[in-house]
Structure 1
């Protein structure tokens, strides 16, 4: 296979994330966590609500927004509502040290698609991002709650180490298997996104996750690994 074909096999555009936090060190940490997970990532940063709203409206193709609930120029609730309005269809994950279950619930009711505690392990992003980008809501139970009732949503079990292609493919989620099936039918990222009713950025996240699990770098290698696994990807 020539180099041009190899380049066509890879997801084309980088995943684009907007990180909103008034602390530069926090923005750096989140940026580093995302870059460690995805090979091709574009990071946009904002330190204020006003800057974040402007960038959310002007930057096309955002996959997700990671948003600090407590910004200097925005009230917790009203600021979040303004940010959600600016974000439009782009999913927003609140990243905050708040542990009050009532506050967490109000964020979700307002339209946030996820809530991640600043004190959690960074591996929580491995669980939160695919769920949120796939149209779900991610809210782990807080370790401690000051006032109010905690929201208790169990986290999915950690994935076991991948040893074979069969283990890797059989361990995929239903949505990841559906994305893989459509990809093997020759559909593009845009066509798969349209068929499943999700953003194209969501498909890119799923493909990168599947490729990482199988230890491959392009669609051709992915197809070969899937066939080698012997797992049937049913359309049922």
Structure 2
């Protein structure tokens, strides 16, 4: 069962999102919050697998709550809810360690796919958000690619294989199956990769895999970070 905490200051939005989540027998909403401060407090009390966090909320907004969650509960996956066009928020949240992004106007299937992906340790971006992120990465591509390849060069061949699959949005279990490894070994590789690259989480590692143009790290239109 995937335990989810839902945080949004709009009651109607929370009700709609909860209805979608309640339709999935593998998902349980363990708590709801109306602001960022409450989201952090409830997360520490309930220890959900995934926090679904609206960016714009009173008292403490989603970005500030994300920073606190990364500091106090780094094991919790955080999916950010946003409206179309908030590119600055997206960039800042990715920099602070968000596990993924969903648009409030997106397909309900994206919401469930994102919850499952993040709960499994993968990263997830709504397809429209992913296109905007990839578009941003395309600017100064040659420079970015050279810099990314220089960073990735410190990895072992096996670590680069794992990073490429992280770039495809695969979970540790999926990577283990693909590379015929034990899941614990993959987890150790991912931890080493994040440390060596100075990446805060899998989203940043996935973006770096894309920038370095590792095999298999090209975005596909299924919503996951490729």
Instruction: Sort the TM-score into its range (normalised by shorter chain).
Output: 0.5 to 0.7
1:32 aligned residue: 19
Tell me, in whole angstroms, the C-alpha distance in 2 between the residues paired with 1:178 and 1:126.
Answer: 23
Unaligned runs of 5+ in 2: 136-169, 189-226
1:18 aligned residue: 5
Query: Is the 8 Å Cα contact of residues 2 and 49 (structure 2) preserved in structure 1?
Result: yes
Query: Is the 8 Å Cα contact of residues 78 and 99 (structure 2) preserved in structure 1?
Result: yes
Q: Is residue 150 from structure 1 mapped to residue 132 from structure 2 by the alignment?
A: yes
2:64 aligned residue: 78
Unaligned runs of 5+ in 1: 1-13, 144-148, 154-172, 180-191, 199-236
Structure with the larger helix share:
2
Query: Is the 8 Å Cα contact of residues 66 and 78 (structure 2) preserved in structure 1?
Result: no
TM-score when scaled to structure 1?
Answer: 0.53
TM-score when scaled to structure 2?
Answer: 0.55
Q: Give CA deviations for 1:23-65 in whole Å, capped at 9, x if unaligned.
A: 11111111111111225624310112221111111114x1100
2:100 aligned residue: 114
Q: Give CA deviations for 1:151-204 in whole Å, capped at 9, x if unaligned.
A: 139xxxxxxxxxxxxxxxxxxx8846978xxxxxxxxxxxx9868649xxxxxx
1:56-71 aligned at under 5 Å gives the runs 56-60=43-47, 62-71=48-57
Distance 1:46 1:178, change over 3 A: same
What RMSD, in angstroms, separates the aligned Cα atoms of the two structures? 3.2
Tell me, what secondary structure is at the counterpart of 2:102? strand
1:137 aligned residue: 123
> Which consecutive aligned stretches of 4+ in structure 1 deviate over 4 angstroms post-superposition?
176-179, 192-198
